Each structure stands twice: as C-alpha cells, then as structure tokens.
Chain A
Amino acid sequence: MIETVFSAELPVGEHLLIQKNRIVGTGGPGPRIAIVTGVHGDELEGQYVAFELARRLKSALHLLSGTVDIYPAVNPLGINSIQRGMPLFDLDLNRTFPGNGNGPMAETMTAAVMDDIRGADVCVDIHASNIFLREMPQVRINELSADQLVPLAPLLNVDFVWVHASATVLESTLAYSLNSAGTPTLVVEAGVGMRITEEYGRRLTDGILRLAAHLGAWKGDFYSAPEPIVSHDGEVSYLNAEHAGIFLPRAKHATVLHEGEVVGIIADPLSGDVVEEVRSPRAGLLFTLRAYPIVYPGSLLARILGDIQ
C-alpha cells in the first residue's frame, strides 16, 4: 500500500511528497524492515533495488511474515531534477538528521522520515557513491555501532564491510540518528551516481531478503554471496590527484593490484602531456575508482584496501 510519509505545499499548485510502499506479508506477524534510498538525488542504484524488492515481495506475500517498508525517494525533488542535494537550498539532506518538526522545511521533512522509520527492527539505507566514483558493494559502519552491525552486514551480499572512525560531522546522517535512536541501520554504498548497475542491484535485493530471512521474516529463496572482507580505516589508502586534467583509468575496478601498479594517468588535453602517473602505494583491492574524468588537485581517484588475502 502506498502511504505518504510527509507532505508540504510548494508555492504553485504542487506538494512535495515523500512516499513509501508498505508491504505486509500474509505469512503472519513478524518484524518491520525499512529500506530507504534516494537521500542523495544523484544516486540511483537504490531505485532498482526498491523496484526489484517490491516486485519480488508482492509476488510471494505468503512467504513474508511481517512488514517491509520501502522508501524510494527521501529527496524526491533532487532525484526528479538530477541534484544531489535538496533543490532551492543545495542542502545535503544527510546533514540534517534527525531533523526538527518545528524547524525549516528540510528539517521538518527529515524529522518526519525519522519518526516513520524509528522503531523498525532493522533499516538499510542504500547509497550509490556519487557521480565521481564507482564503488564495489560495501556496507559502511560507524565504529560506535560496530558491535551490533558488523554481524548483520555480511547478510547483505556485499563485497566488504568498512568500519570507519566516528566523526562529529557525521552525527547528522540518517544512519547515525537511527542507530542512536535504537533502530539498527546499515549503510550500503554501491555502484556510481546517475547510473544503475543491475548486477549490484540484484545482489543487494537478494541480500535484503537474506537479512529478512535471518530475522525470520522471509521464507523464500535468496542468493548468498561469499563472506565479505571486514576492514578498518587503517587498511584503506586514498589516492588523490595532484594535478588538474583528465583522469584515464589504467587498472580495472574491483581487481587486486600489486604495489606500484599504475592505477591511471592524468592527461592535459591542451598540451598533450601526461602530467601525472598514479600508482598504487600498496598491494590491495581497488574498491573505489574514479568514473568522472575531469580532476582538480585533490580529486579522489581511487581507494585501495590493503592487507587482504
């Protein structure tokens, strides 16, 4: 059943609507699982998961015990107009949680989303990197909630689980706010902005069903991926550009590199010179690779996970 989570009147004959699809199984009572995506309007990988999950659940309601709430678009205006943030304010909604019901519109909106999800047995917040970087499917976990979330993360069929240090500025994300409110929330990053990678989407959809099965909510089939790598910050190397130009990758995403291997080059289209050759500082897995060619000094080009077997 389609329900409206939040509605606000826009100036001229329109409402901003956040909607969810509430799918209630006929297999009896069970947990409530919330699947959220579209907090960032330029990340679309989760749109496929929302579609595919709803399609599969609706075709087998008798195998579902409990409720799955699917929120495809927390930032509907952004998705609609190809903007990462909320239009008008250029506001990153993932810096406005837990929101404030008496605050400005964006915070009123995020408070309504929080209130609607709060109390779910588990929540999965699906992101798709941004338009610049392609990511292998991964779960990112704040070290503060690692004890509770690390055991759940492998169920989502991701390639690896990244436990990262907590930062004050990240306290205003949906995941942090929900975890603080006692709703275990896993953040998935997969794919690249403005594109849909169906293979990743299918794996994640199966992963969500696997998680549901773990919670006793799903009795149907699902695919189980091999056990992911669990890593910490110290094992991740960042490669940033030192020169402006166009980045041309020379290594393949999602492969293991040896130390010193060329990840890519930065070329200058005006002079015809290669201005930088980017090499891997360590042996490891190339889990993040730049997809958008234009780079500035500082632009992230790649992330490499070391110490893997």
Chain B
Amino acid sequence: MRKTTLFTLDTPYREPLSICAAEFGAPDAPRSIAVVGSTRGNEIQQTFICAQLIERLSAAEERGLLAQDARILVIPSANPFSMNIGERFWPVDHTDINRMFPGYDAGETTQRIAAGLFEAVKDCDFGISLGSYYLPGDFLTHVRVTHANAISDESLQLADAFGFPYVVSRTPSSFDTTTLNYNWQVWNTHAFTVLAKETDTINQRTATYVQNGILRFMNAMGFVQSRSMGGSLAVHIDESDLVDVRSESAGGFFLRNVESGERVVEGQTLAVVADGFDGHVRETLRAPVTGYVFFSHTAPLINQYTIAFKLVPEVA
C-alpha cells in the first residue's frame, strides 16, 4: 500500500486540504477500481468503512492475494475539511461536493475539489462510492445504480456480486447529472453507490458487513482473493417501487417501533407522533403494505410532511 496525495488546496488559516488515497498495485495496471468513502463531512461511517478497508486490503497484499494486473484506489474522505469542524457541506458556501462533478479545475473552490478527485478516479473500470441520502436516517444496506446510459444495464447485473439484499435502480433527476456516480458512467466506468445503514455514527458491525460486500465484489471482479462471508441473493427493485410512509397530520416527538431491515405487516404500527406539549398521540404511522423497512427516520423529532419510512413491498 502506498499513501498518495491526489489533490491539495491551499486554505486560509488552516493546513491545506489534502485528498489522500491508499493505492495498491501499479499505477499503470490495465485494470482498476476506486472506492470513495465520503464527500460530505457527516459521512463518518462511510469514511470509517474505507479506513478499515485499507487495513484489510493491506493485509491481503502482504499475503499476496491482490491481482498482479490491477490497481485499487481507496479514498476514505474527499472532504476532511468539513468533517474536522462538524460541517456536512463545504463550510464556506455550503455547496455539496457531490453536486459538482465532473468538476472544473479553474472554477469555484468545490468545483476544483471535485475536479481534483475526478481526475484521479475517472479512468477506473469500476467505481464504488459510499453515499448518504438527502433525508437523514438509517437504511437497509444496499447498492444502487443510477441509470445514466447504456453501461448502466451491465452495471445492474454486476451489482449482484456485492451480495447485499437489494440492488436499487434509480432513474436520474436533474441533480444526478452532477454526482460522482453519474459522471463515472459518462466516462464509461461501472459505478455503484453503496448506502450503509448509518451515516453520522460508527457501527463496527455494519461497517464490517459493508466491507465484506465490497471485498466480495472485488473478488468477483478478480481484484482480490477474498472469501468474505457469503452474501445475499440480491433482489432487484426500482426506487419507485418503494412505498413512503409520511407524517401527514402532525409534527412532534417521533417514537419509533421498528428498525431498518425489519419485516413489517400491513397495518402494523411503525411509529407514533406524540404532541410536543402534552405528549398525547397525534398520529399513528402504520405500514400500508407488508414488506421490509428500507429507510427509517431516526431523529427524535419530526415535522409534519416528513417521510418517516420507506418500505419495500414483499410482493411486487
């Protein structure tokens, strides 16, 4: 493993921002894969997953288990600058680096950061980014493929190799055109976004589970010999198949009965919204279908019109 610096940016009053990568294999190897942990300062679990992945890949390298003709890049954080001061987005102007791809090296600051990262990873055959959702909450770990172009169909099939329970295909909306995942595909990289259960907290057990999935994928694509614990037979769904459960009539305390990943039956109480003044139940959120909790709001407070859960129906 070599630690390399992909990009640096001078900043006022602080050390320069550095985007660092763990690099395995020759820089000019014919096959390559990149894993990007975080582009936002609150993606701590994503950064942690990559840090441990570097440790596991280093151990594999010492034992001669990495392919000789391949290069692996792992970038735990493209935005340590925000993480170190507890900010999610770029602290100066609140722009999101993951809305700046492919970047522009003569443009605004976050466009330059995106360009610096993209330049280093755009020619990889495979790209994995560990993202987070715009709604805060927990997920059932899954891999998603945004349908950008013709390469996406093959990517969807390859995504099975992660062995996560769900492969989600997503129809891009206007903002997708500026994400890392989408732009990788424009450059003909097979791009996958892995959504881990947590974002701003570390869970070592689920971190290992996500690393196992990434190593399973790397094993299947011939980058590393790994016998990660067997994964799931993936179910393919479209993002539009998910059923939302929303707080329709009230805001208040959010008292939750279920976790992401749990099976729930139609009519089951998933959570209640309790009054912020006297605590009485204002609204009961029930499962409209039998299925699995795919996403769950986890904050203790909830506003009216908040998507509290997304369920995968058991029967299509």
Contact = CB atoms under 8 A, between A and B. Distances in A.
Contact of A169 (B10, B89, B178, B302): B178
Contacts of B110: 298
A92 B94 CA distance: 9
Chain A, interface size category, equals 35 or more
A103 B307 contact: yes
B109 A299 contact: yes
Given A8-B251, A169-B99, A16 B10 contact: no
A295 interface: yes
A298 B305 contact: no
Interface string A65-108: 00000000000000000001100111110010000001111001
B88 A296 contact: no
Contacts of B94: 84-85, 90, 92
Interface string B92-115: 111000010000001111111000
Query: Which among B99, B304, B305 has the greatest number of chain A C-beta atoms within 10 A?
Result: B305
A294 B251 CA distance: 40
Interface in A265-309: 294-300
A81 to B, nearest CB: 13
A240 B112 CA distance: 11
A243 interface: yes
Query: Which among A132, A170, A171, A240 has the greatest number of chain B C-beta atoms within 10 A?
Result: A240
B108 A10 contact: no
Contacts of B305: 8, 104-105, 108-109
A151 interface: no
Contacts of A130: 93
Nearest to A83: B94
Given A104-B306, A105-B306, A297-B9, A11 B301 contact: yes
Contacts of B84: none
A296 B277 contact: no
B178 A105 contact: no
Nearest to B88: A90
B304 to A, nearest CB: 4
A113 to B, nearest CB: 14
Given A12-B276, A104-B307, A296 B11 contact: yes
Contacts, number: 100
Given A168-B174, A240-B106, A12 B301 contact: yes
A240 B11 contact: no
B108 A299 contact: yes
A13 B277 contact: yes
Interface string A234-273: 0000101001111000000000000000000000000000
A13 B246 contact: no
A9 interface: yes
Interface in B270-314: 276-277, 301-307
Nearest to A132: B93
A9 B304 CA distance: 5
B134 A12 contact: no
B297 to A, nearest CB: 10
Given A9-B251, A243-B10, A298-B111, A91 B134 contact: yes
A184 to B, nearest CB: 21
A172 interface: yes
B173 to A, nearest CB: 8
B108 A298 contact: yes
Contact of B303 (A91, A105, A132, A295): A105
B251 A11 contact: yes
Contacts of A90: 88-89, 94
B252 interface: yes
B287 to A, nearest CB: 17
Contacts of B307: 103-104
Contacts of B306: 104-105
Contacts of B92: 294, 296, 299
B303 A16 contact: yes
Nearest to B40: A90
Given A11-B253, A12-B277, A172-B174, A240 B10 contact: no
Nearest to B136: A89
A91 B93 CA distance: 12
Contact of A95 (B93, B175, B250, B302): B175
For the complex of A and B, the 3 pairs showing the least CB-CB separation, nearest first, are A298-B109, A12-B276, A9-B251
